[in-house]
Structure 1
Amino acid sequence: MVEAKYCKESFVVKTSNVFPPDTNYHGTMFGGKLMAYIDDVASIAAVRHSRSPVVTASTDSVDFLHPIQEGSSVCLEAFVTYTGRSSMEVFVKVIAENLYTGERHICALSFLTFVALDENGKPKPVPKVIPKSEEEKMLHESGKERAENRKRRKKENEKMASKFSIALPWEV
């Protein structure tokens, strides 16, 4: 059995400037760019927790709560909130800051699931999580329900995918 770890042991912070190439014609950060940052910090948190290679198994919806303006900084915080046998749920909070005024907004929240892999690329057991702070406890307590929702959604998507053709248009 793998020894349990505190949430804070997987905690990751990434802060970046939002430059013009990072933005759309509205002057706000590209959603895809932010999603790449989210996957990046979440994967680091998962590796810190499992101390092994990981793969992204799912990304729950990413709700963009507030635009991130060019010239702002964007800060992402991530940590493992809940685990299964080989899977880890990672919570990511995105905060934008106007560096001139100090005004800050939570701009996005996301949950991602990663699977730890052994040396043969097969799923391997991961440590359980020990939540300490109120935020960690709240996220941990609701983690099982989110995991069940993900499993249900995956089955629905697998069923839907079986209905689609994979033939190229000129082959139909």
Structure 2
Amino acid sequence: MSWSKLKQQLEGFLSPALEGRVEYRAPGYRYLPDKSGICYISVDRRNILNMGDKTNTIRWYQTELEIKNDPDIRIPVSKEEIEAVRQAAKGPVPEDRLIIMARSRLSTEHAKELMSAQATLVKSNFIVVANKFLTTPIEESLESRDMVLNILALVDRRVGKKRILGMTEKMELKHPVVQYFYELRRGAL
């Protein structure tokens, strides 16, 4: 599918409150098959989904350690996860230390997911993900681990006010760019 047709279809799914504010842009085109172009999602004419832009207000992580040490990321630990650490420890471990160990495991997994998601943000992958978004149910896009699918679903008109307001807890574990679009959509309700 051509870029202009894909863009037209994506903008057709935008929430009415965000029409004219959110825009899909591709200022560069691919001339060589092995070279990817640039693609942005912009809000109010500012490029938001662009990892290379240092003036961007969204935080882009450089390492997994940076994610693990980010005080804004709060990872909840369930009793099952604490119990799994207890059984793996093979000996008596204080309860507070078990919680720290479980949170460390979860933060490592979370960091790997965020770094992987950041690495896929190039134009060719955006087009593949956008085509996938157009052919899959909106629920799958909301639950996906793919940041672009999450963003496209959050600005979609098929996601209503009640569902948006009920997602607050899930959004705490998402990448800052997904949180940005969540807050944008919540603010437009």
TM-score > 0.5 by shorter chain: no
Bin of the TM-score, shorter chain as denominator length: under 0.3
TM (norm. structure 2) is 0.21
Structure 1 or 2: more strand by fraction: 1
Structure 1 or 2: more helix by fraction: 2
